[in-house]
Amino acid sequence: MLLQTLIDRASETAGNDYRLAKQIGVAPQKIANWRSGAAGCGIEYRALMANLAGLDVDAVIHEALLEKHANTPLGERLLSVLGNAVRGGAAITLASVSAAYFAIPALVEQSTTMCIM
């Protein structure tokens, strides 16, 4: 899932970006920085937003780890481990997102959009 989509869903659940920031324990400016790409969003905050939005926290964490370590030896090992650890629909989502991150970076947005549907 794209970070922007995750923030949108969590913000909608919270009521707005200000309330989202307060609920996950960050300054409202952090949310704006994550939206604009001016700052990276840690996996722990992605997990909090996923939980708030009612999303699969494990899948969000796995995707974030794969994104963080894409195209590295550690990323390849994580892909192997996380791909086997996730079951059901999350495995399909994880596989399509991770394949895009590792194989064809230009398809990341298309792949993650497909996972949202």
For every residue of 26-49, DSSP letters joined together read S-HHHHHHHHHTSS---HHHHHHH
Burial class (CB in 10 A: 0-12, 13-18, 19+), 77: exposed
Question: Is the pTM above the cut of 0.85?
Answer: no
Tokens read off for 4: 């922007």
Residues 81 and 108 in one domain: yes
Tokens read off for 95: 């596989």
pLDDT digit string, tens, across residues 53-110:
999 999 999 999 989 999 999 989 998 888 765 544 444 444 444 444 444 344 344 4
Residues 37 and 62 in one domain: no
Residue 117 domain flag:
no
Residues 45 and 70 in one domain: no
pLDDT digit string, tens, across residues 7-51:
999 999 999 999 999 999 999 999 999 999 999 999 999 999 999
Tokens read off for 60: 């969000």
Amino acid code (one letter) for 56: D
Residues spanned by the domain of 69 = 57-112
Q: Distance between alpha carbon 14 and the CA centroid of its chain, in Å?
A: 18
How many domains is the chain built from?
2
Residues 28 and 63 in one domain: no
Residue 26 domain flag:
yes
